[in-house]
């Protein structure tokens, strides 16, 4: 298959590949700029991005804002004409402040999920920053597109669909995930029809990008042939030299087997997918006492009293290399990765697979 660039308004990526945002600290400026320099779109995760700052424990918001600014500036400096975006979860307590910070620092694109980013158009008003909601169903796509149209007279610049095989938090019930009742192909088909209405109304192309379990160039080509304009891939970028996490974190993915990958409960209230370890086994039988609350999630996304563990604490432990007590989010296909490669090698593998399709 011939490779078409991914166009998001006036932004053009030579390859239709977005590297999915991975928090905490797994996709920062190093990974994002490497992907962007290879022709894809690099995404910095905003979730607790300041975890390495000295004052993070006492002033997490201040540390996050400083680190977010620095990572965006660094990534933009490292890329030649490449596109850099952020991933930001609607569930974050200081959502608007982080969005404003990213805009000020020169971000090109904002991808936002873990809730519907209903007010995002207001925050990017009078800027060139492109916005894309993450949805996991036709219903969610309909809702967000309708709200943006009615309230702001605005169409999305892109729509990301995250399917049931993705890593991180999943927008499906445990029942749907265990019984395989939803397919990314079907959601894509439905969302493409919905998006068309807004393309006609606003006279603009709205790329639809799919995510979740996409492993090879062949997989990418498959979704492109179904009408997607691009793909978002996260897990595969963990096994790269440029991934911003500790080497022990990367090794845990290379070592994992199919049966190690499980659905886990998360304080956010949505199921997640992760590699089995001591943490996953522990939370099956007991809650882990919260050492300190970072107030990172809005109260309706994290009930401070009943949560099984603190998500910030466990994701930070993971990225720093504590692979037994940390939470190792992963996509369904993580066990297939057996070798650490460079981003260039990985992108070349994708390109070869698409061309051979």
Ligand X SMILES: Cc1cc2nc3c(=O)[nH]c(=O)nc-3n(C[C@H](O)[C@H](O)[C@H](O)COP(=O)(O)O)c2cc1C
Residues engaged in binding ligand X (CB under 6 A): 20-23, 26, 45, 47, 87, 89, 113-114, 134, 162, 165-168, 211-214, 232-235, 329-331, 333
Q: What is the C-alpha to C-alpha distance for residues 80 and 117, in angstroms, rounded to an integer?
A: 30
Q: State the nearest-atom distance from the C-beta of 264 to ligand X, in Å.
A: 12
Q: State the nearest-atom distance from the C-beta of 318 to ligand X, in Å.
A: 8
CA-closest candidate to residue 267, choices 245, 223, 226, 298: 298
State how beta strands 230-233 and 130-135 pair: unpaired
Question: 286 by DSSP, 3-state: which?
Answer: coil
Q: State the nearest-atom distance from the C-beta of 203 to ligand X, in Å.
A: 29
The residue with tokens 């424990």 is 57
Centroid of chain to Cα 241: 19
Q: State the nearest-atom distance from the C-beta of 134 to ligand X, in Å.
A: 6
Q: Which is nearer to ligand X, 197 or 320 (CB)?
A: 320
User: In which element (H, E) is residue 17 found?
Assistant: strand 17-19
Q: Which is nearer to ligand X, 197 or 269 (CB)?
A: 269
Q: What is the C-alpha to C-alpha distance for residues 250 and 255, in angstroms, rounded to an integer?
A: 9
The answer to whether the CB of 13 falls within 8 A of the CB of 83 is yes
Other beta carbons within 10 angstroms of residue 50's beta carbon come to: 23
Burial of 84 (0-12, 13-18, 19+ CB in 10 A): buried
Q: State the nearest-atom distance from the C-beta of 319 to ligand X, in Å.
A: 9
CA distances from 223 to 25, 220, 253 (A): 28, 5, 25
Q: State the nearest-atom distance from the C-beta of 210 to ligand X, in Å.
A: 9
Q: Which is nearer to ligand X, 121 or 133 (CB)?
A: 133
Q: Which is nearer to ligand X, 197 or 298 (CB)?
A: 298
Q: Which is nearer to ligand X, 96 or 149 (CB)?
A: 96
Q: Which is nearer to ligand X, 33 or 266 (CB)?
A: 266
Q: What is the C-alpha to C-alpha distance for residues 122 and 290, in angstroms, rounded to an integer?
A: 35
């Amino acid at each position: 298959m011939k490779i078409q660039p991914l166009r998001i308004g006036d932004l053009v990526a030579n390859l239709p590949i977005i590297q999915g945002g991975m928090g905490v600290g797994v996709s920062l400026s190093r990974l994002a700029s490497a992907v962007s320099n290879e022709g894809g779109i690099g995404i910095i995760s905003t979730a607790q991005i300041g975890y390495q700052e000295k004052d993070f424990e006492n002033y997490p918001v201040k540390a996050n804002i400083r680190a977010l600014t620095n990572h965006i500036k660094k990534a933009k400096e490292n890329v030649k004409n490449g596109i850099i975006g952020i991933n930001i979860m609607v569930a974050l307590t200081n959502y608007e402040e982080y969005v404003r910070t990213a805009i000020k620092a020169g971000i090109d694109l904002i991808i936002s999920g873990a809730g519907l980013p209903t007010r995002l158009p207001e925050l990017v008003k009078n800027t060139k920053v492109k916005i894309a909601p993450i949805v996991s169903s036709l219903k969610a796509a309909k809702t967000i597109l309708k709200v943006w149209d009615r309230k702001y007279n605005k169409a999305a610049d892109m729509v990301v669909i995250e399917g049931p095989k993705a890593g991180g938090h999943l927008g499906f019930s445990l029942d749907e995930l265990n019984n395989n009742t939803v397919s990314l192909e079907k959601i894509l088909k439905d969302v493409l029809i919905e998006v068309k209405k807004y393309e006609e109304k606003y006279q603009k192309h709205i790329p639809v990008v799919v995510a979740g379990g996409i492993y090879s160039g062949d997989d990418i080509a498959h979704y492109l042939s179904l009408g997607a304009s691009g793909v978002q891939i996260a897990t595969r970028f963990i096994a790269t030299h440029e991934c911003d996490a500790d080497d022990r974190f990367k090794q845990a993915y290379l070592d994992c087997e199919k049966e190690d990958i499980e659905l886990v409960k998360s304080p956010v209230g949505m199921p997640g997918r992760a590699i089995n370890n001591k943490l996953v086994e522990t939370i099956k039988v007991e809650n882990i006492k919260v050492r300190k609350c970072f107030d990172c999630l809005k109260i309706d996304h994290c009930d401070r009293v009943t949560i099984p563990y603190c998500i910030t604490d466990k994701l930070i432990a993971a990225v720093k290399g504590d692979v037994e007590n940390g939470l190792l989010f992963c996509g369904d296909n993580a066990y297939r990765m057996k070798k650490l490669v460079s981003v260039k090698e990985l992108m070349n593998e994708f390109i070869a697979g698409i061309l051979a399709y």
